């Protein structure tokens, strides 16, 4: 067991090639869920996968954050859910936006645009 040879160490993938994992910025998970669901209905795992794919694998949301958010959005009338078979024939709860959810998405998006502009202005020294 001791020291590994240089060739063994060289075979390990370079960490710089993998995207840096980032925490989902506070207050943006709901915005991202609503945005993803504005495109098509998906189940929870599908939402998680889409978020990872769209962020270049930088954002990974854990189920302990995702599912309470989905539950809250459903209870608030922003999402409607129905059980149906997924692609692998398992029963899954699919979520879709309601009209109230679309309105909420628009409000979240406007607030995000203002926030991003303000932060960028500070970073650029405006």
Rounded Cα gap, residues 60 and 51, in angstroms: 7
The percentage of residues in the chain with a pLDDT greater than 70, rounded to a whole number, is 86
The side-by-side arrangement of strands in the sheet containing 79-85 is 42-43, 91-97, 79-85
Question: Is 50 exceeded by the pLDDT of residue 10?
Answer: no
pLDDT band at 18 (very low <50, low <70, confident <90, very high): confident
Pairing of strands 42-43, 79-85: unpaired
Lookup: tokens for 40: 């098509």
Q: What is the DSSP string of 29-49?
A: HHHHHHHHHHH--EEHHHHHH
Structural contact between residues 65 and 46, judged by C-beta atoms closer than 8 angstroms:
no
Question: Is 50 exceeded by the pLDDT of residue 125?
Answer: yes
**pTM of the predicted model, to two decimals?**
0.82
pLDDT at 9: 44
Question: Is 50 exceeded by the pLDDT of residue 124?
Answer: yes
Please state the φ and ψ torsions of residue 42, each to the nearest 5 degrees. -145, 160
pLDDT one-digit tens code per residue, 57-108: 999 899 999 999 999 999 999 999 999 999 899 999 999 999 999 999 999 9
- Judged by average pLDDT, the poorest of 20-24, 51-55, 65-69 is 20-24
pLDDT at 11: 47
Average pLDDT, the chain: 89
pLDDT at 3: 52
């Amino acid at each position: 067991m001791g020291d590994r040879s240089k060739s063994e160490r060289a075979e390990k993938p370079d960490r710089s090639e993998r995207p840096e994992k980032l925490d989902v910025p506070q207050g943006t998970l709901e915005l991202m869920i609503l945005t993803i669901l504005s495109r098509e209905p998906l189940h929870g795992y599908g939402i998680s996968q889409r978020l990872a794919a769209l962020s270049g694998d930088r954002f990974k949301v854990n189920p302990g954050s995702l599912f309470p958010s989905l539950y809250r959005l459903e209870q608030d009338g922003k999402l409607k859910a129905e059980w149906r078979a997924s692609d692998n024939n398992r029963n899954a709860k699919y979520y879709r936006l309601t009209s109230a959810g679309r309105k909420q998405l628009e409000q979240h998006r406007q607030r995000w645009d203002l926030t991003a502009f303000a932060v960028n202005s500070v970073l650029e020294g405006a």
